[in-house]
Amino acid sequence: MNTGICSTMIIPVLLAGGTGSRLWPTSRELYPKQCLALLDEQFSLAQNTIRRLKSAGIETAPIIVCNEEHRFLIAQQMADMGTKAELILEPEGRNTAPAIALAAFQALERDAEATLVVLPADHVMNDTEAFRTSVQEAIVQSKHEFLVTFGIKPLYAETGYGYIEAAETDATSAVIAFREKPDADTAARYLAAGNYFWNSGMFVFKARVYLEELKQHQPAIYEATRAAMANKYADLDFIRVDAEAFAKSPSDSIDYAIMERTNRAVVVPYTGDWSDIGAWSALYDLSEKDGQDNVLQGDVLTEDSAGNLIRAESRLVAAIGVQNMAIIETDDAVVVVPRERAQDVKFIVNQLKAAGRTEHHVHARVHRPWGSYKTINLGERHQVKRITVKPGEKLSVQMHHHRAEHWVVVSGTANVTIGEKTSMLSENESVYIPIGTVHALENPGRIALELIEVQTGSYLGEDDIVRFTDRYGRK
């Protein structure tokens, strides 16, 4: 970025470790909301965050902090945009203060005076000019070694956000205090006062200054993250940190750990549009409505219905006489909830977890670094999947103790190894893999390989895989 106001390197940091459970059933633990194209059919929320940074003149390779399960999704989405990113893998979630510390230590290797622009990867901000203006002002303030946060000018008395109390109403000023999510009366008082802002979770500061403040106010987090990064190592295109050292870090947010304690905190007002898309009601608010104030996504028909968000992902959804509802359909789940109670979706997710079910964790279509698979039919001793292998990709060399497999090529070309024999299969050709036989599957072609897999056996769980070699470094 060349703003003419700061000679140090400006490095974006994306925090991409969340799961977005209130956007279930579309957002799930293995395919979280930051990877979803909720408002844009072409780009996910994480990709649009990168596009927003570029529109503000920040094109430096980002540092992205994410977890083990999302690493290939995030990497692929960055590659699809032509963005070269450094991906730091958190061994476990320890909240934002340690995550940002990992990024800060990494940034210092590029520039001892690097300035970080820290953004959640799952927010929506369409006013690029307002974003650019606020970022430039924040960079000016960071040059004076302030820790800058963005305060969203509230439009109404929202009870779902934390607030920042500032010394001024419409200008960059010192932070007086961070306030918890208020009740309705308190939120109304904040709105009337004029010097309270929604807490955006976005920050700008020098990496060195952040680590200095962390060392002063939270030495345990500082020492744990320093040690974790001191013993980091490369795994393919990912940066793995010392898991044992990182586990010693307290779990704390940057607000509690630093911003409430430091005397360097300032807030820059942001007056453009902003949403963290925390629930389906937020997606409704952001989306274009039809003549009946409906937001219809996918194959949807309505009659005498108004004020609804209806999203169909795999089949026709028809609604008659329905008012002010969110109806979300996926391959394996349907949610129907009044829009004003959209936050309560999290209670269903909690029930799924308590019951030991998997619908909160994984979609019917499961994404892998080599492609994806979707379960079509599941019985007591059989399972049918449709498998897609991307061009040039290969599944691990593996075997199963409890199941045999039959593969039928639907389209494309498959290079199949069974034991010591390798053969090429084309459309309508098939092969059988007995229980306990080492095998591998590769797509040597230039188009996607589609095949049907029929599994039979006494146990069909995904953990019945013994990997011998794997180009993606999976165990």
Q: Could you give the CA distance from residue 38 to residue 130 in angstroms, rounded to a whole number?
A: 22
What residues have CB less than 8 Å from 467, skipping those under 6 apart? 396, 397, 398, 474, 475
Is the CB of residue 371 less than 8 Å from the CB of residue 389?
A: yes
pLDDT at 244: 97
Backbone angles phi, psi at 313, to 5 degrees: -105, -20
CA 411 from chain centre, in angstroms, equals: 32
Is the CB of residue 293 less than 8 Å from the CB of residue 280?
A: no
CA proximity to 71, closest of 229, 234, 283: 234
Q: Is the pLDDT of residue 362 over 90?
A: no
Find the length of the chain: 475
Please give the full DSSP string across 200-216, using - where no structure is assigned: EEEEEEEHHHHHHHHHH
Task: For CA atoms 20, 25, 26, 32, give the dihedral sign.
Answer: positive
Q: How confident is the model at residue 24 (pLDDT cuts 50, 70, 90)?
A: very high
Is the CB of residue 116 less than 8 Å from the CB of residue 108?
A: no
Report the run of H or E that residue 101 belongs to, with start and end.
helix 96-108
Q: Is the pLDDT of residue 2 over 50?
A: no
Q: What mean pLDDT comes out for the span 273-293?
A: 94
CA 352 from chain centre, in angstroms, equals: 21
pLDDT at 5: 43
Please give the full DSSP string across 9-52, using - where no structure is assigned: PEEEEEE-----GGGTTTSBTTB-GGGS-SS-SS--HHHHHHHH
Q: For residue range 178-222, what is the model confidence (pLDDT) as tens digits?
A: 999 999 999 999 999 999 999 999 999 999 999 999 999 999 999
Backbone angles phi, psi at 305, to 5 degrees: -130, 140
Q: How confident is the model at residue 7 (pLDDT cuts 50, 70, 90)?
A: low
CA proximity to 213, closest of 163, 271, 174, 264: 264
Q: For residue range 380-414, what is the model confidence (pLDDT) as tens digits?
A: 999 999 999 999 999 999 999 999 999 999 999 99
Q: For residue range 64-79, what is the model confidence (pLDDT) as tens digits?
A: 999 988 999 999 999 9
Determine the 3-state secondary structure of 239 from DSSP.
Answer: strand
Q: Is the pLDDT of residue 3 over 50?
A: no
Q: What mean pLDDT comes out for the span 114-128?
A: 95
pLDDT at 473: 83
What residues have CB less than 8 Å from 382, skipping those under 6 apart? 454, 455, 456, 460
Q: Which residue has the higher pLDDT, 19 or 328?
A: 328
What residues have CB less than 8 Å from 292, skipping those under 6 apart? 302, 305, 306, 307
Q: Could you give the CA distance from residue 150 to residue 138 in angstroms, rounded to a whole number?
A: 8
Q: What is the mean pLDDT of the chain?
A: 94
pTM: 0.88
Enumerate domains of the chain plus CATH numbers.
Answer: 10-270 (3.90.550.10), 280-351 (no CATH), 365-469 (2.60.120.10)
Q: What is the dihedral of CA 330, 336, 337, 339, to 10 degrees?
A: 70
Sort 180 into a burial class: Cβ within 10 Å, 0-12 / 13-18 / 19+.
exposed
Q: For residue range 41-54, what is the model confidence (pLDDT) as tens digits?
A: 789 999 999 999 99
Is the CB of residue 337 less than 8 Å from the CB of residue 345?
A: yes
Sort 32 into a burial class: Cβ within 10 Å, 0-12 / 13-18 / 19+.
buried
Q: What is the dihedral of CA 247, 251, 257, 260, to 10 degrees?
A: 180
Q: What mean pLDDT comes out for the span 434-444?
A: 97
Q: Could you give the CA distance from residue 136 to residue 57 in angstroms, rounded to a whole number?
A: 10
pLDDT at 304: 98
Q: Is the pLDDT of residue 88 over 80?
A: yes
pLDDT at 85: 96
pLDDT at 371: 93
Is the CB of residue 141 less than 8 Å from the CB of residue 287?
A: no
Determine the 3-state secondary structure of 328 from DSSP.
Answer: strand
Q: For residue range 232-260, what is the model confidence (pLDDT) as tens digits?
A: 999 888 999 999 999 999 999 999 999 99
CA 14 from chain centre, in angstroms, equals: 10
Q: How confident is the model at residue 378 (pLDDT cuts 50, 70, 90)?
A: confident
